[in-house]
Amino acid sequence: MTTQELQDLLGSMSLEEKVNQMNQLAGGFFAGDVVAMGPLQEMGVPEESVRLTGSVLGALGAETVKKIQKNFLENQPHRIPLLFMLDVINGFKTIFPIPLGQGATFEPELSRRCAQAAAKEAAVSGLHVTFAPMVDLVRDARWGRVMESTGEDPYLNCLFSRAMVEGFQGDDIKEPYRVAACVKHFAGYGAPTAGRDYNTVELSEHTLREFYLPSYRAGVDAGAAMVMTSFNTIDGVPATANRWLMRDVLRGEMGFDGVLISDWAAIEETIYHGLCADRREAARRAAEAGVDIDMMTGIYSEHLCALVREGVVPEALIDEAALRILTLKNKLGLFENPYKDADEEKEKEVILCAAHRELAREAAAKSFVLLKNEGVLPLAKGKKTAFIGPYADNPRMLGSWSFIGSPEDVVTVRQAVSEWDESAVFCEGSPLLGPDVKLEGFMERPAETDGAPAKEKERSAEEMLAEAVAAAAEAETVVLMIGEHYLQSGEATSNANIQIPQIQMELFEKVCEVNEQVVVVLFTGRPLDIRRISEKAKAVLVVWMPGTEGGHAIVDVLSGAVSPTGKLPMSFPYCVGQVPVHYNEYSTGRPHVPGKDKDRFRSKYLDIPNGPLYPFGFGMGYTRFSVSPVETDRTRMTAGECIHVSVRVKNVGDLPGTETVQLYIRDIAASVVRPVRELKQFQKVALAPGEEREVVFTVTNEDLCFLTADGRWESEPGEFEVSAGTDSTTVNSARFVLAE
């Protein structure tokens, strides 16, 4: 449709029709044949709202979606199709590593390909919009949703935000196999106080703008069709009713002209926040803030028509929102083809196809981060290796946002090892969760999710442990596959103790008593306190929640077929008392000087180090690299010039490998306090043993810009320190001056 045709359509719609475009209902309201009246009436949703509603969350499958759309269109006065939406986060049916794992690849291009594959599977299943990417910056490992983020660094998050949006959407969402992306959660959702989900967010505007907003902006700049509000307050006002945030910042400053959707029930929650007295006020405030779609509360349908008729809300606000929604439908080509890519035959062909599995395997292997290796990895084939632990043969490693992915499609570690080394032995060792872990309110805590095969459940934890210890004692090397339950990270999974379940730590201790060659393969959705493991194990490999091809990818890396290349996108804290801990902290007036612990009046802890156990950007390979001192081709530049910063990187080990060389910059003095360092660029170099290569970074004025005291994003003349190395603690630095 042309813009004029869309305007004409809008002009011909009744107020009820326009308002209901702004309403989203769950798939359960629509049965294949008719509108499902049972749940409707129970929930007090009038039939008209269902007949006129604009979008659906959670109905999928080509056949179902086509049926719902067809029936719906027969009753929709203007034949305006429904939009079908769902959270397709790290994959649809082929599951890729969780976003935090994808962040560890330091390879946004790979995430673009994963998003593209996920979009294809989702599109043939009838979906039009995915609620992804989540681009919230995260610093606090107590918050379970860190698993959905790509980490603590704004620069890295921007790259991933852009890549994922482009991967889902391509150049044109009308094209086959594309879905509209929804950047979320605007804004600052990743900073809940004390890491407790849905809690208040307290950020200065400076910190919000400098660290948290850039990744949303990157997604908007990449053309994201949709943005989702966040549950939290910003400066005391819930984001979902925050006019300043939505109208001035998102629409005004960032130029977002797509559809803004509330998070689940977030409009209603403005009442519980204590901002709005009732549903009517909530409807008014959210509409005034510019929220186009109400996810799941029916508040807009209930109140907006009356509010308009009473002259409280101008109809122009409704027109604006409805037009944006119609425009999105038009951009997806739904007026011409309301079924878009929904296709039962294509579902069979595309979903879990060999190419997607191959990509999942590649992405998973690249997401793994080797934190320690005292010569035990890679494993030697045929050398009496025991794979022990609740993840040794457990398909539930997809992450908690992969509810379409099925464990039946997952390649477990045991299956993959058996293809590689028939002599390996396996035992479960312990249940995933002991009585210390509370998962109250989770529908699935029962045994079916603890990973234990049915027959194992009849055995006591003592028997499992005894069997594991016996196997460990006989083995040359033990690979201990332990970690969080997949439901322990995700939405509403805040944890004050960020540790591996106690029952698995007991297994670890007992195994270490009988075998010194212990490799820990750690499954987790978040950074954990792994001091004990790091101290005792000979090697530690973080595999996050690796996805459908997790087993193959783990064996690829353990066997040495693939060398680990992942780098931490989020610091692993020394202990929970240190969080939020992140590498790019602001300078203080009393910085701690390493080695001068007796200098008492410094910003430091008495009982633990300041630095995390493993810092941002850290990750080893199977070989070693040396990095030469930083060189710059000049020591002064003006804003229009650039400086070339170079290091020579050499593979000084015996195996080929890839290193990610990272460039950090510190502004020595500025109109506002600057972070001690900030990642500005990185490059991956693949080197054969003995090979050396020069890595050159071009530093331009753009790398020196920040939010100044005047509120402008620009650089200020003065001195800068530039560092290059293999993680965020590198002290390999040089200085240069930005001249006026």
CB 373 within 8 A of CB 622: yes
Rounded least distance, CB 232 to ligand BGC, Å: 11
Q: Which is nearer to ligand BGC, 89 or 249 (CB)?
A: 89
CB 709 within 8 A of CB 736: no
Q: Which of residues 130-149 bind ligand BGC (CB under 6 A)?
A: 131
CB 557 within 8 A of CB 621: no
Q: Which is nearer to ligand BGC, 226 or 620 (CB)?
A: 226
Listed in sequence order, the residues at least 6 apart from 509 whose beta carbon sits closer than 8 Å to its beta carbon are none
Q: Is the peptide bond before 185 cis (omega within 30 degrees of 0)?
A: yes
d(CA 275, CA 262): 16
Taking the CA of residue 622 as centre, how many other CA atoms within 13 Å lie in the half-sphere pointing to its CB?
A: 20
| Other CB atoms within 10 A of residue 427 CB | 21
Q: Which is nearer to ligand BGC, 27 or 657 (CB)?
A: 27
Q: Which is nearer to ligand BGC, 264 or 486 (CB)?
A: 264
Q: Return the H-helix or E-strand segment holding 268.
A: helix 266-273
Would you count residue 604 as binding ligand BGC (CB under 6 A)? Answer: no
The tokens of 280 are what? 């009517």
Q: Which is nearer to ligand BGC, 85 or 360 (CB)?
A: 85
At residue 491, φ and ψ (nearest 5 deg) are -70, 145
Rounded least distance, CB 143 to ligand BGC, Å: 12
Amino acid at 458: E
CA angle 663, 665, 669 (to 5 degrees): 175
Residues contacting ligand BGC: total by CB under 6 A: 6
CB 520 within 8 A of CB 541: yes
d(CA 315, CA 11): 12
Tell which one of 87, 362, 556, 667 touches ligand BGC (CB under 6 A). Answer: 87
Rounded least distance, CB 137 to ligand BGC, Å: 15
CB 99 within 8 A of CB 150: yes
d(CA 286, CA 508): 51
* 707, β-bridge pairs: 713
Listed in sequence order, the residues at least 6 apart from 138 whose beta carbon sits closer than 8 Å to its beta carbon are 145, 146, 149, 151, 152, 190, 191, 570
Q: Which is nearer to ligand BGC, 184 or 604 (CB)?
A: 184
CB 379 within 8 A of CB 417: no
Q: Which is nearer to ligand BGC, 145 or 604 (CB)?
A: 145
Rounded least distance, CB 245 to ligand BGC, Å: 17
d(CA 126, CA 479): 42
Tell which one of 205, 491, 692, 721 touches ligand BGC (CB under 6 A). Answer: 491
Tell which one of 264, 544, 682, 720 touches ligand BGC (CB under 6 A). Answer: 264
Rounded least distance, CB 598 to ligand BGC, Å: 47
CB 160 within 8 A of CB 113: no
Rounded least distance, CB 279 to ligand BGC, Å: 19
Q: Is the peptide bond before 580 cis (omega within 30 degrees of 0)?
A: yes
Binding mask 39-78 for ligand BGC (x = CB under 6 A): ----------------------------------------
Query: Minimal CA–CA distance to 281: which of 268, 290, 293?
Result: 268
d(CA 670, CA 676): 12
Rounded least distance, CB 161 to ligand BGC, Å: 15
Q: Taking the mean position of all CA atoms in its chain, how far away is CA 94?
A: 17
Rounded least distance, CB 640 to ligand BGC, Å: 43
Q: Which is nearer to ligand BGC, 131 or 544 (CB)?
A: 131
**Closest residue to ligand BGC, Cβ-based?**
131
Rounded least distance, CB 231 to ligand BGC, Å: 7
Q: Which is nearer to ligand BGC, 358 or 491 (CB)?
A: 491
Tell which one of 263, 347, 529, 549 touches ligand BGC (CB under 6 A). Answer: 263
Q: Which is nearer to ligand BGC, 96 or 186 (CB)?
A: 186
CB 536 within 8 A of CB 497: no
SS3 494: coil
d(CA 620, CA 610): 22
* 293, β-bridge pairs: 261
Q: Which of residues 179-208 bind ligand BGC (CB under 6 A)?
A: 184
Rounded least distance, CB 59 to ligand BGC, Å: 13
Radius of gyration of the chain (CA): 26
* 263 catalytic per annotation: yes
d(CA 22, CA 325): 8
Taking the CA of residue 641 as centre, how many other CA atoms within 13 Å lie in the half-sphere pointing to its CB?
A: 14
d(CA 86, CA 706): 36
Q: Which is nearer to ligand BGC, 264 or 544 (CB)?
A: 264
State the catalytic residue, choosing from 263, 343, 421, 703.
Answer: 263
What is the edge-to-edge ordering of all strands in the sheet holding 55-57?
259-261, 226-229, 180-186, 129-130, 83-86, 55-57, 23-26, 294-295
The tokens of 424 are what? 């390996």
The tokens of 270 are what? 């403005």
Would you count residue 216 as binding ligand BGC (CB under 6 A)? Answer: no
Rounded least distance, CB 179 to ligand BGC, Å: 14
Would you count residue 168 as binding ligand BGC (CB under 6 A)? Answer: no
- How far does the chain reach from its first CA to its final CA, in angstroms? 52
Q: Which is nearer to ligand BGC, 184 or 666 (CB)?
A: 184
Rounded least distance, CB 536 to ligand BGC, Å: 38
Q: Which is nearer to ligand BGC, 87 or 727 (CB)?
A: 87
Rounded least distance, CB 403 to ligand BGC, Å: 9
Please say whether the dihedral angle defined by the alpha carbons of residues 619, 624, 629 and 630, taken in this order, is positive or negative.
Answer: negative
At residue 679, φ and ψ (nearest 5 deg) are -65, 130
Would you count residue 706 as binding ligand BGC (CB under 6 A)? Answer: no
Would you count residue 269 as binding ligand BGC (CB under 6 A)? Answer: no
Residues that bind ligand BGC (CB under 6 A): 87, 131, 184, 263-264, 491
Catalytic residue annotation: 263
